[in-house]
């Protein structure tokens, strides 16, 4: 059985570490590079670095920051924010990223399929942010501000078909709230796709992570719980291992 992954998420605007709730009210809480280095010293499974301002502000990825991180942080690194074309991805991989996280661009072009054929599915992570609207879970982009025409379950099927290697699934209304993952949706998505799915948005403690994995998540991503509580990725791994979950410690 493959080990379940525990993945710290760093949300930044440029190089500033930010904290929000439900994809809103972003405030500066530190420096992204410092947070990444702390996680690296803890020996985490991998790290997700998302620039939440890049797409809205029309910026591309910060390649120099990725280069600096890859020089000092020896862990798999997934980078997202501001990616719009294949060349952006090639540049990020050359800079030291192991994976790229594609959100809004997947709706505007056939970027997922292009990347699957050029850099390989294993390097392509599809970011899926969703909210409930009029009784339906819809996919949103641009910091969960723009509603797309795709329902959640139709979109994850489409992403798998296009060649995404995995999905990071975020309940936008739970992001940063630390009140638990959306377990029913995790279970439903796990039942309709065959690619790895990472649960994100809402982790408040180790028990929340255990619930998400039991619901079918292949990994759990979390930001606030690792930055603003005593919880650590190693502590999460030990908790899960004690309850029969295969993890790396």
Written as tens digits, the pLDDT of the chain (249 aa) is: 689 999 999 888 888 888 777 666 566 767 888 888 888 888 788 999 999 888 888 888 999 989 988 888 888 999 999 999 999 999 999 999 999 999 999 998 799 999 999 999 999 999 999 999 999 999 999 888 899 999 999 999 999 999 999 999 999 999 888 999 999 999 999 999 999 999 999 999 999 999 999 999 999 999 889 988 999 999 999 999 999 999 998
The ranges assigned to domains in the chain are 5-242
**φ/ψ of residue 37, rounded to 5:** -65, -35
The full DSSP string for 76-99 is -EEEESS--SHHHHHHHHHHT-SE
Instruction: Identify which of 16, 104, 99 has the alpha carbon closest to the alpha carbon of residue 56.
Output: 104
- pLDDT for the residue numbered 25: 53
| pLDDT at residue number 22 | 66
pLDDT digits (tens, 9 = 90+) for 192-231: 999 999 999 999 999 999 999 999 999 999 988 998 899 9
Asked if residues 211 and 6 have their Cβ atoms less than 8 Å apart, the reply is no
What local confidence, expressed as pLDDT, does residue 28 receive? 76
Q: What is the pLDDT of residue 24?
A: 67
Strands 16-21 and 24-31: antiparallel
Q: How far apart are CA 229 and CA 141, in angstroms?
A: 29
End-to-end Cα separation, the chain, in angstroms: 15
Q: Which CATH architecture has domain 5-242?
A: Alpha-Beta Barrel (3.20)
Helix (H), strand (E), coil (C) string for 9-56: EEEEECCEEEEEECCEEEEEEEEHHHHHHHHHHCCCCCEEEEECCHHH
Separation between Cα atoms, residue 138 and residue 205, nearest integer Å: 27
pTM to 2 decimal places: 0.93
Distance CA 150, CA 153 (A): 8
pLDDT of residue 107: 92
């Amino acid at each position: 059985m493959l080990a379940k992954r525990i993945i710290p998420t760093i949300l930044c605007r440029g190089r500033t570490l930010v904290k929000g709730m439900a994809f809103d009210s972003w405030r500066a809480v530190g420096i992204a590079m410092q947070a990444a280095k702390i996680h690296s010293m803890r020996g985490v499974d991998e790290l997700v670095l998302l620039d939440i301002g890049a797409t809205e502000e029309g910026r591309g990825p910060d390649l120099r920051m990725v280069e600096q991180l890859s020089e000092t942080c020896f862990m798999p690194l997934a980078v997202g924010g501001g990616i719009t074309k294949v060349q952006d991805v090639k540049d990020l991989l050359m800079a030291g990223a192991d994976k790229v996280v594609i959100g809004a661009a997947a709706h505007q072009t056939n970027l997922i399929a292009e990347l699957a054929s050029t850099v390989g599915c294993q390097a392509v992570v599809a970011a899926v942010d969703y909210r409930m609207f009029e009784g339906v879970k819809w996919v949103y982009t641009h910091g969960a501000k723009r509603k797309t025409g795709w329902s959640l379950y139709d979109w994850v099927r489409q992403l798998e078909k296009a060649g995404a290697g995995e999905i990071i699934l975020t309940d936008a209304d739970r992001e940063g709230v630390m009140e638990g993952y959306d377990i029913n949706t995790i279970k439903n998505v796990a039942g309709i796709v065959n690619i790895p799915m990472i649960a994100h948005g809402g982790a408040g403690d180790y028990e929340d992570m255990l619930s998400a994995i039991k619901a079918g998540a292949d990994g759990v991503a979390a930001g606030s719980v690792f930055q603003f509580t005593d919880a650590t990725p190693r502590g999460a791994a030990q908790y899960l291992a004690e309850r029969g979950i295969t993890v790396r410690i």
